[in-house]
């Protein structure tokens, strides 16, 4: 178990900047998720922590000790790869026991620990199988068992659930979270799936364009996205963003206006979450639009509507199903508005 | 693509003709080897001897043949072992290294295999004479390793490139050093490629004639292909014994090939096409 600290970390591949001046402190026992679209630098960050790639500049500290010059094999961490990276010529038991074999741990002790690790992921019945004979979920468990078998000071997980089907992913997600809390080992988890990030993380780091966009607990990131990128990335569907201008306490956009008392004047982007929008009678409408699509999801109805040229999503009551191309009056919860500066994209009240 | 019955029949007929074309010399070799000395040139020619006999095999399996056989096993065996070991190490560097110098070197390796043996045999002969290695196993093994190594490297590199790097990364995170990663992960996974390469080297060296003829001067050092020459005399060719020897020369390689062919096919095609 250990803390991880990244100081001024940067990485260039030829002329491409994968990471730019990244600073991050990860607490002991924390489950930290690196979240971002592909190419944002999240996998690079993890590979640098693992020692598989070298940073162009910056320092990596694990447990307060600089590890820049320590090779991957001596960093005492375990990694779960996206493609599991199980050794195809070894049995499940040999796969799990490989880290122990390298540490020259005696056979009896090794077998006991392999059995314990396998039991934790419910694979103890399949120790003599080869990876090729296992299903995707089982392979995932073997990869996990190989990671936990030697009680490393740090877990690294690179999109470990992305090759599983949706149902299994939900199951494994819960198991992973449970296991991590039980072992209380610092874990860094890379994903592009914001649902995984929200459900698993103690804290989320959102990366885009080689930079950190926001660091915070899932609830905090959801409630107060730091900029339009985070607002548009988190949530399913994500926050609606409507461009406009505030003048004398009124937000004016292409097809209407909205009272927003106390907000200073200026060009802004208004953000509103789909669940903070409802369908209302015409005389109470904040916005007028035209229905683009209407999808009954069971517990709610998802309505996409054009407000001017902007398509917004609204999560409304299940009975509020609408016909396509009919006009619709939209009401907004005025206490749940988010304002972002139109030019910089950053949250307006961040300074407060 | 769907074929009509006529096309299918035509293709099948063509395959049979081609197979006959390839197999007929082998059949003739076996047939002649079983004929008594008077029969090979009987007119009309007979496909199969009326009274098959093993006497050619008995005379062909003389002490010299046994010496040649041992020489061939030693020379081919050592060439296979050395070439495959060197090629595996080189191919691993070529497939994993990122230095520009490696690309240049790989180009040099490809070019090296383009020279015909007859073009390089005189310089190699002179080198062997200078080193006082003529008429030794060493001279043949060095020559065979140097002519088979480029193709062997190329084959193994194609194979290793397709192995996922994440396995090696996983092993190094599990605590394995570079040598351990190579030995525990790369070598076992490269086995089909190694076997295919070994069979290639074996087939090339087992039947090699030019170097063997030039570098050896005494019967004690001759290999099988040169030894077959014994039956081609100044006044005549003893076809029966020659063919019997040929059969005995071919059998070990054919047996090994059949035993390992599933690896060979996998190894030759793996990496042949860019994945």
Write out pLDDT tens, residues A121-160.
888 899 999 998 888 888 988 998 999 998 899 999 999 8
Same domain, residue pair B213 and B155: yes
Q: What is the dihedral of CA A343, A344, A347, A351, to 10 degrees?
A: -110
State yes or no: pLDDT of A314 exceeds 90.
Answer: yes
pLDDT at A1: 64
Residue A185 has pLDDT above 70, yes or no: yes
The answer to whether B100 contacts chain A (CB < 8 Å) is no
Tokens of A88: 């195809």
Residue A158, pLDDT score: 92
In a domain, B168, yes or no: yes
- CB-CB neighbors (< 8 A) of B188 in chain A: 89
Query: Domain residues for B107?
Result: 61-269
Confirm whether B202 is domain-assigned: yes
Whether B274 maps to a domain, the answer reads no
Query: What's residue B81's pLDDT?
Result: 97
Helices B191-206/B137-161 angle, 10° precision? 150
Provide φ and ψ at A311, rounded to 5°. -95, 125
Chain A residues with CB inside 8 Å of B186's CB?
A: none
How much is the pLDDT for B275? 33
With 60 as the cut, is the pLDDT of residue B269 above it?
no
What is the rounded distance in angstroms from the CA atom of residue A210 to the CA atom of residue A192? 14
The rounded percent of chain A whose pLDDT value lies above 70 is: 99
What is the rounded distance in angstroms from the CA atom of residue B102 to the CA atom of residue B259?
35
User: Which domains, ranges and CATH numbers included, belong to chain A?
Assistant: 4-229 (3.40.50.300), 233-351 (2.40.50.140)
Angstrom distance (rounded) from CA B231 to CA A116:
71
Nearest to A149 by CA among A174, A125, A124: A124
What integer pLDDT is reported at residue B92 of this predicted model? 94
CA distance A49 to chain B (A): 11
B130 shares a domain with B98? yes
Say if residue A57's pLDDT is above 90.
yes
Give me the mean pLDDT over the A319-343 stretch: 89
Domain match, B226 and B252 both: yes
Is the same domain home to B122 and B187?
yes
pLDDT at A263: 82
Contact of B240 with B36, CB cutoff 8 Å: yes
Q: What is the pLDDT of residue B59?
A: 82
Distances (CA, A) of B149 to A72, B104, B159, B204: 33, 17, 15, 11
Is pLDDT at A350 greater than 70 in this prediction? no
Express each pLDDT in A65-122 by its tens digit: 999 999 999 999 999 998 889 999 999 999 999 999 999 999 999 999 999 999 888 8
**Among the three residues B33, B53, B73, which one is the final residue of a domain in this structure?**
B53
B10 near A CB under 8 A: no
For residues B147 and B70, membership in a common domain is answered with yes
Q: Are A239 and A232 in contact (CB under 8 A)?
A: yes
Confidence of residue B274 (pLDDT cuts 50, 70, 90): very low
Q: How far is A235 from chain B (nearest CA, A)?
A: 32
Asked if residue B29 is part of any domain, the answer here is yes
The residue among B11, B37, B53 that closes a domain is B53
CATH number at residue B198: 1.10.3720.10
What A104-113 contacts at long range (C-beta under 8 Å, 24+ apart), as own/partner pairs, is: A113/A149, A113/A150
Query: CA torsion angle for A289, A292, A294, A297 (degrees, to 10)?
Result: -110
B275 is a domain residue: no
Asked whether residue B109 falls in the same domain as residue B150, the answer is: yes
pLDDT in tens, A257-311: 788 877 888 899 999 999 999 888 888 888 888 999 999 998 999 999 998 888 9
The arithmetic mean of pLDDT across residues B58-62, rounded, is 83
Q: Are residues B119 and B101 in the same domain?
A: yes
Helix (H, G, I), strand (E, B) or coil at A299: coil
Chain B partners within 8 Å of A83 (Cβ) = 164, 166
Q: Is B180 in CB contact (< 8 Å) with chain A?
A: yes
pLDDT of residue A66: 93
Q: Can you give the pLDDT at residue A272?
A: 93
Residue B125 forms part of a structural domain: yes
Are B173 and A83 a contacting pair at CB < 8 A? no
SS3 A259: strand
Three-state SS at B201: helix
Same domain, B107 and B68: yes
pLDDT of residue A120: 85
* Partner-chain contact A99 B175, CB within 8 Å: yes
- Is pLDDT larger for residue B99 or for residue A227? A227
Which chain B residues contact residue A72 at CB under 8 A?
169, 172-173
Is the pTM of the predicted complex or chain greater than 0.90?
no
A348: left (phi over 0), alpha (psi -120 to 50) or beta: alpha
Residue B1 confidence (pLDDT) above 70? no
Q: For residue B1, is it within any domain?
A: yes
How far apart CA A193 and CA A208 sit, in angstroms, is 14
Is 60 exceeded by the pLDDT of residue B267? no
Assess A79–B contact: CB distance below 8 Å, yes or no: yes
Mean pLDDT in residue range A181-204: 93
Work out how many domains chain B is built from and give that number.
2
Question: Is the domain of B10 the same as that of B39?
Answer: yes
The last residue of one of the domains, among B53, B73, B95, is B53
- Quick check: A99 and B169 CB within 8 A? no
Q: What are the pLDDT digits (tens) for B192-233?
A: 889 889 989 999 999 888 898 888 888 888 898 888 888 887
- Nearest residue in A to B165, CA atom: A85
With CB atoms and an 8 Å threshold, state whether B174 touches A89: no
Q: Percentage of residues in chain B with pLDDT exceeding 70?
A: 93
pLDDT value at A190 more than 90: yes
Say which of A77, A83, A87 has its CB closest to residue B173.
Answer: A77
- Residues B78 and B3 both lie in one domain: no
Q: What is the mean pLDDT of chain A?
A: 90
| Structure confidence at residue B265 (pLDDT) | 66
Output the CA angle A114-B183-B272, nearest 5 degrees.
115
Nearest residue on chain A to B173, alpha-carbon basis: A73
pLDDT at B37 over 80: no
What is the mean predicted confidence (pLDDT) over B52-66?
84
Same-domain check for residues B135 and B194:
yes
Together in a domain, B149 and B14: no
């Amino acid at each position: 178990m250990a803390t991880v600290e990244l100081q001024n970390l940067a990485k260039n591949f030829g002329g491409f900047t994968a990471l730019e001046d990244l600073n991050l402190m990860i607490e002991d026992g924390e489950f930290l998720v690196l979240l971002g679209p592909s190419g944002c630098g999240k996998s690079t960050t993890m590979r640098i922590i693992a020692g598989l790639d070298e940073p162009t500049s910056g320092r990596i500290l694990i447990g307060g000790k600089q590890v820049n010059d320590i090779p991957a094999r001596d960093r005492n961490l375990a990694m779960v790869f996206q493609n599991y990276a199980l050794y195809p010529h070894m049995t499940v038991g040999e796969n799990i026991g490989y880290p122990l074999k390298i540490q020259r741990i005696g056979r009896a002790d090794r077998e006991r620990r392999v059995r314990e690790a396998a039991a934790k992921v419910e694979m103890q019945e399949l120790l003599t199988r080869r990876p090729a004979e296992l299903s995707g979920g089982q392979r995932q468990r073997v990869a996990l068992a190989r990671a936990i078998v030697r009680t490393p000071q740090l877990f690294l997980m690179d999109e470990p659930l992305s090759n599983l089907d949706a149902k299994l992913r939900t199951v494994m997600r819960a198991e992973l979270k449970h296991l991590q809390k039980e072992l209380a080992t610092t874990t860094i988890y890379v994903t592009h799936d914001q649902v995984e990030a929200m459900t698993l993380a103690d804290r989320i780091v959102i990366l885009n364009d080689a930079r950190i966009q926001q660091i915070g607990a899932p609830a905090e990131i959801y409630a107060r996205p730091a900029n339009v990128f985070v607002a548009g990335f988190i949530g399913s569907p994500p926050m609606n963003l409507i461009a406009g201008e505030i003048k004398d306490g009124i937000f004016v956009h292409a097809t209407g206006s909205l009272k927003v008392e106390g907000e200073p004047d200026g060009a802004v982007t208004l953000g509103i979450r789909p669940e903070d929008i409802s369908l209302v009678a015409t005389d109470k409408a904040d916005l007028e639009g035209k229905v683009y699509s209407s999808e009954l999801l069971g517990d709610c109805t998802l309505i996409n509507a054009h407000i001017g040229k902007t398509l917004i999503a609204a999560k409304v009551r299940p009975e509020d199903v609408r016909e396509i191309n009919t006009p619709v009056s939209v009401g907004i919860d005025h206490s749940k508005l988010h304002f972002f500066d139109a030019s910089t994209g950053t949250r307006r009240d961040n300074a407060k | 693509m769907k074929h009509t019955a006529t096309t299918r029949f035509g293709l099948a007929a063509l395959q049979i003709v081609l197979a006959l074309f390839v197999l007929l010399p082998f059949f003739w070799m076996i047939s002649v080897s079983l004929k008594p000395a008077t029969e090979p040139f009987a007119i009309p020619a007979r496909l199969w001897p009326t009274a098959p006999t093993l006497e050619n095999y008995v005379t062909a399996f003389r002490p010299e043949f046994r010496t040649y056989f041992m020489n061939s096993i030693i020379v081919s065996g050592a060439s296979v072992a050395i070439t495959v070991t060197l090629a595996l190490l080189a191919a691993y560097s070529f497939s994993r290294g990122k230095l520009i110098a490696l690309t240049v070197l790989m180009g040099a390796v490809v070019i090296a295999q383009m020279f015909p043996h007859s073009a390089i045999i005189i310089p190699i002969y002179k080198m062997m004479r200078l080193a006082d290695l003529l008429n030794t196993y060493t001279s043949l093994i060095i020559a065979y390793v140097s002519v088979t190594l480029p193709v062997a490297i190329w084959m193994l590199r194609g194979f290793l490139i397709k192995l996922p790097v994440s396995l090696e990364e996983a092993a190094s995170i599990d605590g394995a050093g570079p040598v351990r990663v190579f030995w525990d992960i790369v070598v076992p996974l490269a086995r089909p490629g190694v076997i295919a390469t070994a069979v290639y080297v074996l087939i090339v060296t087992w039947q090699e004639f030019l170097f063997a003829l030039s570098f050896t001067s005494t019967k004690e050092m001759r290999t099988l292909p040169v030894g077959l020459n014994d039956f081609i005399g100044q006044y005549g060719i003893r076809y029966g014994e020659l063919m019997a020897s040929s059969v005995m020369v071919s059998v070990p390689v054919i047996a090994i090939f059949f035993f390992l062919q599933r690896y060979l096919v996998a190894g030759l095609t793996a990496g042949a096409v860019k994945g």
